[in-house]
Amino acid sequence: MSLEFIGFIGPQESSESLSPRGPIVDVNFINAFAQAQEYGGFDKVLLAVNTAAPDSLVLASYVAAQTQKLGLLVAHRPGFQAPTFAARQLATLDQLTQGRAAVNIITGGDSGDLQRDGETVLNKDERYKRTDEYLEIFKKTWTSEQPFDHQGDFYRIEDNLTQVKPVQKPYLPIFFSGASDAAVEVAAKHADVYMMWGEPVEEIRARIAQVRKAAAKYGREKHIRFSLSLRPILGATEAVAWDRANQILEDAKLRVGEQGGWRRFKEGAKTNIGSERLVEFSRQKRVHDQRLWTEIAALTSASGNSTSLVGTPDQVAEAALEYYKVGVTTFLFRGFDPLRDAVEYGQELLPRIRALVEQQSVKPALAS
């Protein structure tokens, strides 16, 4: 199985444990952050979406100009633009970058955050129905060689034909996340990569089986791939790594008091099944599988990617290999000290995981 690493680009240096540094759009930081991840061997970077944050597509266009080969995973929320218009934007980005674009479809479990941008479809299952239709139109826009019409529950399209198609065929990669049954159904039908937050290995095994079973209805069980999002915390020794994790937790507790936005994000997480799952794991244990640390998820109500693998680079790489063995082929890594950690991941972690996966691939070949 091929292996892929995704990093993260934020417009400003900050995290749960790090107070913001610099302006909200910090050009110097973005440049350094993007180039560190490209040089460090990341295949792509995620550009996230949030109603209070700079626009992900515009940010992706800027990052593309600062890099040579780094892939751009653009988070996108259906419902706020016409699907044909958004499809043209993404196809244009793919053309300008010679095939570096991908899209991360975020249907959204937090109705409050969506309403800040004027969302009118407040029922989550209905939003997933809209996303299903939205992605059908995306694919038609990217692939149709003849004008097409579409009459659906949410969109009416007449005589649409775009001249701009993605470089990647048949269309640019679609990443998708969501832990509800409705989300799994849409992912099974449309996703090239199904994204998950860091849960215990056996839980991830079960979720992969669930999605593959759903995808089998569409003949896609062998097509869909799986991504895991984690916040690795590394140290020269295991004790140093755990000391760092504990310091991150203490710093994050201080930020909870100083940052009014935490309350809003924590309330939004209550409506997100993925967040509910992480919080439940944090209640069960502080640490699962020896290395999966959940205390930041507990503190923030798991308002995002918030569980960590903690240990030496070798230990964390070995823990990542266990996820690879159950079917994860893409890892999204984001640090609590974003730039420093990105450099460290590129130097110490990614090469080790690649080497372990290569060894894992060689063993069956030798046995045969």
Alpha carbons 327 and 333: distance in angstroms, whole number: 17
- DSSP-derived letter for residue 55 is P
In a domain, 60, yes or no: yes
The per-residue pLDDT for 364 is 57
Alpha carbons 197 and 300: distance in angstroms, whole number: 14
Instruction: Please report which confidence band the pLDDT of residue 108 belongs to, taking 50, 70 and 90 as the band edges.
Output: confident
pLDDT tens digits, one per residue of 198-219: 999 999 999 999 999 999 999 9
Instruction: Please report which confidence band the pLDDT of residue 264 belongs to, taking 50, 70 and 90 as the band edges.
Output: very low
In a domain, 326, yes or no: yes
Rounded (5°) CA angle 303-304-309: 120
- By residue range, what is the domain housing residue 120? 4-232+306-367
Q: What length does the chain have?
A: 368
Alpha carbons 136 and 139: distance in angstroms, whole number: 5
Run of H or E including 157: strand 156-160
Identify whether the C-beta of residue 225 lies closer than 8 Å to the C-beta of residue 194.
yes
Alpha carbons 301 and 262: distance in angstroms, whole number: 10
Q: Which amino acid is at 44?
A: K
Alpha carbons 311 and 315: distance in angstroms, whole number: 6
Q: Is residue 170 reached through a cis peptide bond, with omega within 30 degrees of 0 on the bond before it? A: yes
Kindly tell me if the per-residue pLDDT of 367 is higher than 80. no
Of 48, 163, 160, nearest to 95 (Cα)? Answer: 163
Token digits of residue 330: 């893409």
Identify whether the C-beta of residue 75 lies closer than 8 Å to the C-beta of residue 56.
yes
Residue matched to tokens 């069956």: 364
Instruction: State the alpha helices, DSSP H only, in 194-310.
Output: 201-216, 238-258, 261-269, 273-284, 295-300
In a domain, 238, yes or no: no
Identify whether the C-beta of residue 291 lies closer than 8 Å to the C-beta of residue 315.
yes
Question: What pairing do the DSSP bridges indicate for beta strands 44-47 and 233-234?
Answer: unpaired
The per-residue pLDDT for 119 is 67
Residue 347 belongs to domain with CATH number: 3.20.20.30
In a domain, 264, yes or no: no
pLDDT tens digits, one per residue of 331-341: 999 999 999 99
Averaged confidence pLDDT in the chain = 93
Pick the residue with more confidence: 207 or 125?
207
Question: What pairing do the DSSP bridges indicate for beta strands 193-197 and 308-311?
Answer: unpaired
Rounded (5°) CA angle 56-58-64: 100
Across the range 36-56, mean pLDDT stands at 94
Please name every residue paired with 234 in a beta bridge, in sequence order, or none if there are none.
311
How far is Cα of residue 195 from the mean position of the Cα atoms in its chain? 6
Identify whether the C-beta of residue 272 lies closer than 8 Å to the C-beta of residue 180.
no
Question: What pairing do the DSSP bridges indicate for beta strands 156-160 and 148-151?
Answer: antiparallel
Q: Angle between the 201-216 and 181-190 helix axes, to the nearest 10 degrees? A: 60
- The domain tally of the chain equals 1
Kindly tell me if the per-residue pLDDT of 267 is higher than 70. no
Run of H or E including 233: strand 233-234
In a domain, 88, yes or no: yes
Identify whether the C-beta of residue 44 lies closer than 8 Å to the C-beta of residue 69.
no
In a domain, 65, yes or no: yes
Q: Angle between the 273-284 and 261-269 helix axes, to the nearest 10 degrees? A: 100
Kindly tell me if the per-residue pLDDT of 363 is higher than 80. no
Identify whether the C-beta of residue 93 lies closer than 8 Å to the C-beta of residue 72.
yes
Identify whether the C-beta of residue 330 lies closer than 8 Å to the C-beta of residue 226.
yes
Number of other residues whose CB lies within 10 A of the CB of residue 116: 13
In a domain, 281, yes or no: no
Residue matched to tokens 């240990």: 311
In a domain, 62, yes or no: yes
Instruction: Please report which confidence band the pLDDT of residue 272 belongs to, taking 50, 70 and 90 as the band edges.
Output: confident
Kindly tell me if the per-residue pLDDT of 56 is higher than 70. yes
